[in-house]
Chains A and B, each alone.
Chain A
């Protein structure tokens, strides 16, 4: 399975890089992640539950960061076993590029899936990987924003997702205020 995409994150590059290597944040961002602990710097153990087509799988595995080059790039290499459902080996190359006040995140993921999961068909695995990646970034962005300074006001999507994410922490008050301001501005623009 190969996945190559880029996404823009509304946060400075250094913050994005730090967040991507923060196990506490990753635990919340990775869909289905039930446990994620850092054994040593750059080496993680994780348990992630995922559903691929008709198969539910609970992956237990380890990952490690290689070629750490902050704040520009790193590689994540991991492998996990999902019991009777199969196994997977993943290699993800991540590259961060400054884009104004935000960051352009390029990622390239290569995975070898084996066992019953591997037999579901490449297209199903690709679609699932895309879906999971999308979910990851949907959770990830607001989490970075919450961590520290508030972002710029024109992030209505971030606002909406933050409200939905149960793991979002602190400063709810600030968020409700920003949401109210944003809605008021929008209403003003539309009704003019």
Chain B
């Protein structure tokens, strides 16, 4: 047994170099843009330059006359020849006013960038020139950009079939019936009336999100023999395939979707099912030639990666001893047009409200959300999906309560943290396992708070302002079917096929589609530790619907929680078979636990002289399946599914130390410290990398990035000149620490990590700044965090 454990330790938790990296850094990665088919045509989209307008006519004659142009398609082609995008497979099981829409804009354009036509030509340059010759005659319509204004009576209507511009509304607390909910509201109101301490604020978070290094692309090939093969930069190839089948009305046996092996980041942006998929597939079918579209950065910034954009009016009630009593929120989210499949924009704010209570023990909650349609790009899922704004609001409110009751914010948090799991929050979110207090106490070992306060006071005498800010968050570790079926109409189980080959190599197939998370490495480590072989002896294939088991996609930190668990299960099934045959061959009676898979051998622990090299026993079972034990048949391949009965989580706590220059209002992060519960670790480098990446994305979102629309709905931030990202110079040294509890619900005790991680960042940073500027009584309730807005607040406070 000891030997078994030793083998496991070698690969589990190791800081192994990623298998993907050599090919990626030597230019040998294979991305969608590297896939070239003979006779391939190129597509360029013509996009609306108005935020809201009627399409009076489209003149494609000049474009068609350009030599090399094969076709120009418009919305009418899609309205008449193909089904609408509003198909059941793409609709969440949530009650919302889903607007009808087609792959290209029909009758109206509803945001600056709405695709109106597509030009297909022999080469990309001709296509771009021709796109400029397509003349669209627009009649401008009044524009509505603000979510709260959009919900007011008399506001311009974005969708004719969505009166009132309300995409979605929900009450998340109190119960299922209106009566229960109203009673709950009254009870909460009662708490607020009698509480010692109440803080009420309007928290605004701007429109920001994710900019993956690689924008989107679609390549479709339609042949008589194979039907449709679609390469798509997607996180969910199996779902995309179903959508293509339903919308284009193609028999399922004739559709294959392949997510390229290498993708330059998804982070949620490549998770929806996009209109461009239908346009390119239909064009390939019509023209009988492969058609490829590669998104430009300009298009990408115009159309995807926009999220957050919420106003949360949050009230928090507490006792004067710092015990949190009730949380009441009215959230309004700016959905944009809502025209993307699977999420329709509103699923993100939906989850944000679900996660609002965070890890605190509230007695009661009253949480409501309204999601408004506006003439902006539809929200796309972005890492920290929906709760970047709500986490900011809650963590700021906690600090305000702490200040009012005269308690250290870190201590007040600890006092109100859920002490024991499992736990169900006031919104019904289930926290399965972990030890929040252990993680928090670990965090606090990295700072001597009393000493810090003394230093802070001394520096204030000198006119220098430092501050410390805390935040924490429970994040989803994968998404159980219990949550994913209602939320996205998809199953949450993980699936893996493990095939051992006669040479002792292992091939693993998964239906998800990673975008750079290092799945090939983590899975190889799991297989290596299970079979006692080397990680280099494994190959992982994902993303191809023709070759992999069904999976909902790479979303919500599924790999470390669901996918590797399915892999482990499949390996465990194969170990049963291998040991069964080996025992039979050795003439002994033994169970799988009595064998050790280590260093390429399968060893009988009671008598280590009885052993066989892994390579030999597997070859024997696959190639020479004679004299097998009763009931066994040859071959070594297993498919396994993993489901968690209830949703699982991971947890993190952060603090940062900041110094603010009163004269310029610039702030500098002096320290960023984290404490994480990531369950059991497979690859420490990858986990560390996830944390670094998440914190940097959180900082970039909170401070630098902002999608800006002017009053006419013109999007002004469609290049990196204007849409600012954090650079290396802006990133502080991040000190990571871990205080993990293995997850009892996964076979390896691992947790999925990294998806929601950015959401603690704005709270920690703004809390630190407010702590530094406490003498001025400044409270931050809005993002982005800019020196310019801070300067105004400081000046106002100075009088």
Contacts and interface: CB of A to CB of B under 8 A. Distances in A.
Chain A partners chain B: yes
Contact of B132 (A84, A87, A113, A118): A84
Interface stretch (B152-160, B229-237, B333-341, B708-716): B708-716
Contacts of A118: 710, 714, 716
Contacts of B281: none
Nearest to A114: B714
B735 interface: no
Interface stretch (B438-446, B657-665, B718-726, B779-787): B718-726
Interface residues of B, number: 16
Contact of A83 (B50, B135, B722): B135
A190 B715 CA distance: 58
B131 A84 contact: yes
Contacts of B131: 84
B135 A119 contact: no
Interface string A71-108: 00000000000011011000000000000000000000
Contacts of A121: 716, 721-722
A32 to B, nearest CB: 19
Contacts of A135: none
Interface in A115-130: 115-116, 118-119, 121
B138 to A, nearest CB: 9
Nearest to B718: A119
Interface string B702-743: 000000001010111111011000000000000000000000
Contacts of B714: 113-115, 118-119
B148 interface: no
The bracket for how many chain A residues form the interface is 10 to 19
B132 A112 contact: no
Contacts of B688: none
A116 B49 CA distance: 8
Nearest to A89: B712
Given A86-B49, A119-B718, A121-B722, A114 B712 contact: yes
B50 A119 contact: no
Nearest to A115: B49
A118 B710 CA distance: 10
Contacts of A83: 132, 135
Most B CB within 10 A of own CB, among A83, A116, A119: A119
A119 B712 contact: no
A17 B553 CA distance: 69
A88 B716 CA distance: 15
A114 B49 contact: yes
A115 B50 CA distance: 7
B132 A119 contact: no
B29 to A, nearest CB: 31
A12 B131 CA distance: 50
Name, among B135, B714, B719, the residue most crowded by chain A CB atoms within 10 Å (CB to CB): B714
Contacts of A116: 49
A124 to B, nearest CB: 10
Given A119-B718, A119-B722, A121-B722, A112 B712 contact: yes
A87 B49 contact: yes
Contacts of B712: 112, 114
B712 to A, nearest CB: 6
A44 to B, nearest CB: 21
A87 B714 CA distance: 11
A53 B667 CA distance: 34
Nearest to A86: B49
Contacts of B135: 83
Nearest to A82: B49
Contacts of A115: 49, 714
Given A119-B722, A121-B721, A121-B722, A114 B50 contact: yes
A115 B49 CA distance: 5
B445 to A, nearest CB: 48
Q: Which interface residue of A84, A86, A87, A115 has the most chain B CB atoms within 10 A? A: A84
A84 B716 CA distance: 16
Interface in A124-174: none
A83 B721 CA distance: 23
A143 to B, nearest CB: 35
Interface of B: 49-50, 112, 131-132, 135, 710, 712, 714-719, 721-722
Pick the 7 closest A-B CB pairs, nearest first: A115-B49, A84-B132, A114-B714, A118-B714, A119-B718, A112-B712, A119-B716
